[in-house]
Chain A
Amino acid sequence: MSTISDNQDNATVAAGDIYALARHYRFQWEDAQQCYVLLFPEGMIKLNGGAGEVIKRVDGQRTVGDIVSDLQQAFPDVADLQSDIIAMLDLAVEKAWLEKRN
């Protein structure tokens, strides 16, 4: 299992980072598709179950470390959860769905 990096490397989110949904993005549950979606000007992303659970916890308050612990408690049987979460957050930051708040 990988560990969360503490240095401020642009490529990777760090344990102490706090993120929020980027301005003008909306995150909501869709009954018709049975999944969470991200909506923004000219686009939308359907999130699979795992991605939805991660983004749901990104609230501009919790640190990345908090989110990882919370998910590890919620899904204790999933292997390699931390690296999946970090990969998801890296992608979301790279795509500019999320903005850093600290």
Chain B
Amino acid sequence: MSTQVQNNGVAASKTNTQPLWLLAEVTYRCPLHCAFCYNPTDYDKHTKNELSTEQWIQALRDARKLGALQLGISGGEPLIRDDIEEIVAEAGRLGYYTNLITSGVGLTEKRISAFKEGGLDHIQLSMHDITEEINNFITNTRTFELKKKVAAMIKDHGYPMVLNVVIHRYNIQHVKEILEMAEALGADFVELANTQYYGWSLVNRSQLMPTKEQIDEAEAVTNEFRKKVGNKMKIYFVVPDYFSDRPKKCMNGWGEVFMIVTANGDVLPCHSARVLPNMTFPNVKANGLKWVWEESPAFNKYRGDDWMKEPCRSCDEKEKDLGGCRCQAFLLSGDAEAADPVCTKSPHRHLIDEAIANAQKPHLKAQPIFFRNDKNSRKLIEGESRELVEEFHALP
């Protein structure tokens, strides 16, 4: 009697899709420097031309008219902007179900009260580990104690608490303890998000990737924990696609249900679409969102399956995953229309297997992690550290 939107198999066409999920990446500035961040490695270019408050409000209104319902306010760290209260209040008036996605840095009693008044529905807090050492190492900051304080503040104000924990080699063996911590903090939802390799995490792939055995163990521990806590705390374990033999149905299909407005106003069908070649993305400063969603060449480019080549075109599973992720296909194979290399039917699957094997080599483990910060972003833009991204077709 109901339709689970994330799993609907609605055939793509520009007339029956709606941008139900709107992600507002309001800034790429961030006090944290996480090595697994999916933000663009050239984000430093987009830190000085951010949309104004009025432009964000207009974008929210336009997207709502198109049917947008779930709003994520993300970044970078959204709380770096001092107008999030205004944006939240407008989202509340418009009837969005609004989620603030934050590291917790910058969340004060005063701000959280204003968010409550403005109708913010929930807060997703990123946590990193049960140990101060690993939290501080992977984020390149000293934020461990602060995050625990923020978690308590979220709870005190009656918000549902959604903890997001990105999982990688350095914390995967602590999944049980992480879940115990989440339970102790009173989390309602926990997302154990295995690292996906885009942006900074792709640069650091060899240093972050766990082994297959570690993933299996983490999943077993999670299932065990689920039985124990039941519905009190919902746990999502996002399976990393490198370790499966079919790709994910990325974004539930290109231009199907997701729309992302980035800090400078570019509108994207997925987080990392700007890595794709020969694409011009629309921008809210110049284009209305209705045109962007329904008519723009960028949003229509990979809608449905007309663009597919073999082995996807004749594949009997093509509607299940729509060929996987266009960005991953391009970043790894150099061809944006190739099958996602995760698929064992892809002629590029060996690239995934090599990456998995490489990550286990001791000399790679010894390589320094390339943290997400303004200086490193400029190094990539200016070409100084281009050897880090060259093999991924991801030159800024």
Q: Is the CB of B69 within 8 A of A48?
A: no
Task: Say yes or no for B20: interface residue by CB 8 A criterion.
Answer: yes
Report the Cα distance A31→B59, complex, angstroms: 19
Report the Cα distance A65→B230, complex, angstroms: 28
A-side interface mostly: mixed
Name B231's contact: one of A32, A43, A48, A96 (CB within 8 Å): A96
Report the Cα distance A51→B3, complex, angstroms: 10
Q: Is the CB of B67 within 8 A of A33?
A: yes
Q: Is the CB of B69 within 8 A of A44?
A: yes
- For B191, give the chain A residue with the smallest CB separation: A42
Q: Is the CB of B6 within 8 A of A87?
A: no
Q: Is the CB of A30 within 8 A of B67?
A: yes
Q: Is the CB of A44 within 8 A of B20?
A: yes
Known: A23-B160, A51-B1. A32 touches B189 (CB 8 A): no
B189 — which chain A residues lie within 8 A by C-beta?
A: 41-42
Task: Say yes or no for A47: interface residue by CB 8 A criterion.
Answer: yes
Report the Cα distance A87→B2, complex, angstroms: 12
Q: Is the CB of A33 within 8 A of B18?
A: yes
A32 — which chain B residues lie within 8 A by C-beta?
A: 18, 65-67
A87 — which chain B residues lie within 8 A by C-beta?
A: 1
B4 — which chain A residues lie within 8 A by C-beta?
A: 45
Report the Cα distance A37→B69, complex, angstroms: 9
Contact bitstring B41-78, A, C-beta under 8 A = 1, else 0: 00000000000000000000000011101100000000
Q: Is the CB of B3 within 8 A of A48?
A: yes
Name A48's contact: one of B2, B5, B99 (CB within 8 Å): B2
Q: Is the CB of A39 within 8 A of B3?
A: no
Q: How large is the interface on A (under 10, 10 to 19, 20 to 34, 35 or more residues)?
A: 20 to 34
Q: Is the CB of A50 within 8 A of B1?
A: yes
Report the Cα distance A33→B66, complex, angstroms: 9
A28 — which chain B residues lie within 8 A by C-beta?
A: 95
Q: Is the CB of B160 within 8 A of A24?
A: yes
Task: Say yes or no for A91: interface residue by CB 8 A criterion.
Answer: yes
Q: Is the CB of B1 within 8 A of A41?
A: no
Q: Is the CB of A51 within 8 A of B65?
A: no
Q: Is the CB of B122 within 8 A of A41?
A: yes
Q: Which of B1-52 contact A (CB under 8 A)?
A: 1-6, 18, 20
Q: Is the CB of B188 within 8 A of A45?
A: no
- For B124, give the chain A residue with the smallest CB separation: A41
Task: Say yes or no for B97: interface residue by CB 8 A criterion.
Answer: yes
B70 — which chain A residues lie within 8 A by C-beta?
A: 39, 43-44
Contact bitstring A1-19, B, C-beta under 8 A = 1, else 0: 0000000000000000000
Which residues of B approach A to under 8 Å, CB–CB? Answer: 1-6, 18, 20, 65-67, 69-70, 95, 97, 99, 121-122, 124, 160, 162, 188-189, 191, 231, 234, 236
Which residues of A approach B to under 8 Å, CB–CB? Answer: 23-24, 26, 28, 30, 32-33, 37, 39-48, 50-51, 84, 87-88, 91, 96
Given contacts A32-B65, A41-B188, A44-B97, 5 further A-B contacts (CB under 8 A): A39-B70, A39-B97, A42-B236, A44-B70, A45-B3
